[in-house]
Amino acid sequence: MTETSAPRQSAVFLDRDGVLNVYLPGDYVRTPGGLHLLPGAAQAVRALNNAHLPVFIISNQQGVAKGLMTGADLLHIDDALKRNLAESAGAYVEQSYYCPHAASDDCPCRKPKGGMILQAAREHGLDLATSVFIGDTETDAQAARDAGVGAFVLVLTGKHQNAASFPEATDHIAETLGDAVEWALLRRVGA
């Protein structure tokens, strides 16, 4: 008798700051109280949940390496994010992956490298080629490409609020996370 492996599943990867919550130019979300969901973000995640697509947060948080917050602070902020998503729309994420290292550490998990995405794929049996990454920075696009994610959607609610200023290739440009999710559900995920 031969064993067959379970089919791999498509997923949606989301950057955190500027995609799910308000981007703070030149600063970090340092406390749970400093995290504010963007309008419609919880509902967009809920739409992915309703489509039975696992949602993962992939985020660099070098504020830990800079001593601006602790690893425990980061976990409290993540708990607050998940609580806000649940309370706002009954939404949830499968798992959050954070890189707490400084850019100078050159670790394999820090975007623009695809380490966090590849870890999620290994741990959850994901098909990266049919998955989508929704982000707001060049490093998001580069990490998606490095890991072999099938599509990258730039959302204009974070660092780049003008598509003309974005130097990386994108598969779609969306005004909001809700618009990005709509595109992913209609045109890309699982295709």
Query: Tens of pLDDT along 130-150?
Result: 999 999 999 999 999 999 999
* pLDDT at residue 108 in the model: 95
* pLDDT at residue 165 in the model: 82
Fold that domain 12-188 belongs to in CATH: Rossmann fold (3.40.50)
Q: Could you tell me if residue 18 is left (phi over 0), alpha (psi between -120 and 50 degrees) or otherwise beta?
A: left
Q: What is the mean pLDDT of the segment spanning 58-62? A: 97
With a pLDDT cut of 90, the percent of the chain lying above it is 87
Confidence tier at 164 by pLDDT (50, 70, 90)? confident
Residues annotated catalytic, as ranges: 15, 17
Q: What is the mean pLDDT of the segment spanning 106-113? A: 96
Q: Which helix (H) or strand (E) holds 148?
A: none
Q: What is the mean pLDDT of the segment spanning 159-163? A: 87
Query: Tokens standing for 56?
Result: 């993962």
Answer yes or no: is pLDDT of 2 > 50.
no
DSSP assigned state of 126:
B
Q: What is the mean pLDDT of the segment spanning 46-52? A: 97
Q: What is the mean pLDDT of the segment spanning 55-79? A: 97
Confidence tier at 1 by pLDDT (50, 70, 90)? very low
Average pLDDT, the chain: 94
* pLDDT at residue 187 in the model: 77
CA dist., res. 129 & res. 40, Å (int): 27
Can you tell me which residue has the tokens 């994420």?
Answer: 93
Query: Tokens standing for 45?
Result: 């995640």
Range name among 2-11, 31-40, 72-81, 115-124 with the lowest pLDDT average:
2-11
**Residues 151, 188: contact at Cβ < 8 Å?**
yes
Answer yes or no: is pLDDT of 91 > 80.
yes
Confidence tier at 188 by pLDDT (50, 70, 90)? low
